[in-house]
Chain A
Amino acid sequence: MASFDVKLTKVELRHIDDLVGHFRNNMELIEHFLEQLRALFVGNPLLKPHVHSMKFRVKDPGHLRDKLIRKMMLTKNQKKKFHITKENLFGVINDLAGLRILHLHTRQIEAINKAVLKILEDEHYKIIGHPTAITWDDESRDYFTNIGIQTRRSDRMYTSVHYIIKPNNRSGFTAEIQVRTLAEELWGEVDHTINYPAPSRISACREQIKVLARVTSSCSRLVDSIFNTRKDADRGRRTLGSNPRS
């Protein structure tokens, strides 16, 4: 993370505290938003066969404060205007409500994506950020593009598919849905613990986490391969079974 030589004034910090206060005042509503998603997604027959588990979380107000301070320092450093207000907070910060869908291997994303889009359409949610795979891995990029999911290069070393949704056009609340494999989740959790809110000062840790990303990628490939092997074997057995003379 870049270090800034700018400092925030009392007025600027008060603005951030006002924003965090506004978030706190609406936390119950955001929890309801997540509850509604939980009721739709958990146990949904379209998703269930492909999903390992799901996580729901409302952003911690302290983490929001850190995020806003970082954003404000960045804009100040670039001599730009900080544009986040109480009116647009819920539209600009999209991960105040978050749903994470975890699965075992990469190829499941195709079915999961279809199911997620169908649920959102049936239940009248607006998709404002269409499914985007954030990835650093060229091979994965081709796969996602082939199944109709746009991709975005990431500096951070994880692979995850993101959606941004809102309940309607009226209220401006948004939520983020993330879909990733369990292996990516392990990487994400380790990275988050070590490098959040500020990157670790221990360079060896930072390096090892980069290596972990490559191991994670290999791990995902291996899991994919295991499932593909089983699928091929099953297909072979079925073909044999249906036509004993061949």
Chain B
Amino acid sequence: MTEVKRTHRCTAPRLAVFNHKGGVGKTTLTVNIAAALAEQGRRVLLVDSDPQCNLTSYLVEEMVVNDLLDRSDKKDGETIWSSLKPILEGTGDARLIPPIKQDDNLFLLPGDIRLVEFEQELGTLWADCFQRKLRGFRGMTAMSQLVNQVAKESRIDFVFYDCGPNIGALNRSIILDCDYFLIPAACDLFSLSAVKTLGHILVKWISDWKTISALAPDDASLLPGRPVFLGYIPQRFRTYGGQPTYQYARFLSQIEKHIQNDVVVVLRRLDLNLVPNQSIKIGEVKDFLTLATNAQEKGVAMWKVTVGTPMLRDLAHKSFVRISSKIIERTLGD
């Protein structure tokens, strides 16, 4: 297997749907936004960077997933772990793995449960970066370089990372590699309290990386470290007569308030360019109930399932088309 080439960053925007609270629908959102973008003719690369592999399980048949995971530790392994293993073993740079082609416009770099081992190493690599050690920079940028080459070779227009629900070293390196991030927010109390801490965590990551890069040697490869907030997406609220129910309407206004005060204000204080002047809600996804679960079982987008009413499927389709069009508009200016 060939080593990943360290070359210039490709122009395809990299995004992450990020919230360290679990169960807010990150993976579902990522898959459906990607599917909507692919439908509009954009080539999308999905990177399953969550050791739980939810994204890979969503899109790939169980037997294939099992086979991928069985082989991943071997020389011919084809998961993200297979690629990054040489970094951990100190035997070289990341190795190139082929993306799995889902359809003409949708590609996947499959995840791996063993990615937790790489995450542990990332803690050490981060400390090395603080000490200006080139080894640290090589490791910190390994996944970014893999994504870069795959995106170039497959002529990708958008890259989406799927993150696990935590604030660990892996997510830190992913967010610092992203050009943009979206926050999914579920309508519950825990989700609200997660949002309250999110902005501060991001500020810490971004400013730490700013310090690291300002002092890094010239030959160190760096992550961009400036993820722009693209907007938030409230999810899974119930509606009645087309409007959120009373209970959810209250949550929705509270989410907006917390995103504004605890994310937007906090990020802008660090760097005004991290939050462009635009509405912070980029779209919304109501509770599509059976559509979501069925889509996950079938490994397709919500509007492509056979359950639910055509009207509900159409509604789901429109929600994601709206979000994906906004993403195109806000990232590429099209």
Contacts and interface: CB of A to CB of B under 8 A. Distances in A.
Interface of A: 28-29, 32-33, 36, 39, 123-126, 167-171, 173
Contacts of B289: none
Interface of B: 130-132, 134, 210-211, 213-219
A124 B218 contact: yes
12 contacts: A29-B210, A32-B130, A32-B211, A123-B132, A123-B217, A124-B219, A125-B217, A126-B218, A170-B213, A170-B218, A171-B214, A171-B215
Given A29-B211, A32-B130, A173-B215, 17 more contacts: A28-B211, A32-B215, A36-B130, A36-B131, A36-B215, A123-B132, A123-B217, A124-B132, A124-B219, A167-B132, A167-B214, A168-B217, A168-B218, A169-B218, A170-B214, A170-B218, A171-B213
A171 B216 CA distance: 9
A168 B216 contact: yes
Contacts of A167: 132, 214-217
Contacts of A125: 217
A126 B215 CA distance: 11
B214 A29 contact: yes
Contacts of B132: 36, 123-124, 167
Contacts, number: 41
Most buried by A among B211, B215, B219: B215
B219 A33 contact: no
A36 B216 CA distance: 11
Nearest to B215: A167
A86 to B, nearest CB: 15
B219 A29 contact: no
Which 9 pairs from chain A and chain B are nearest by CB? A124-B217, A171-B214, A167-B215, A168-B218, A29-B211, A32-B211, A169-B218, A33-B215, A36-B132
B131 A168 contact: no
A48 B191 CA distance: 54
Given A39-B131, A123-B132, A168 B215 contact: yes
Contacts of A123: 132, 217
B214 A173 contact: yes
Contacts of A173: 214-215
Contacts of A169: 218
Contacts of A39: 131
Contacts of A36: 130-132, 215
A170 B222 CA distance: 12
A44 to B, nearest CB: 14
B151 to A, nearest CB: 25
Contacts of A126: 218
Nearest to A123: B132
A62 B271 CA distance: 26
B177 to A, nearest CB: 19
Contacts of B134: 124
Contacts of A171: 213-215
Nearest to A167: B215
A201 B214 CA distance: 43
A124 B134 CA distance: 10
A31 to B, nearest CB: 9
Contacts of A28: 211
A83 B211 CA distance: 26
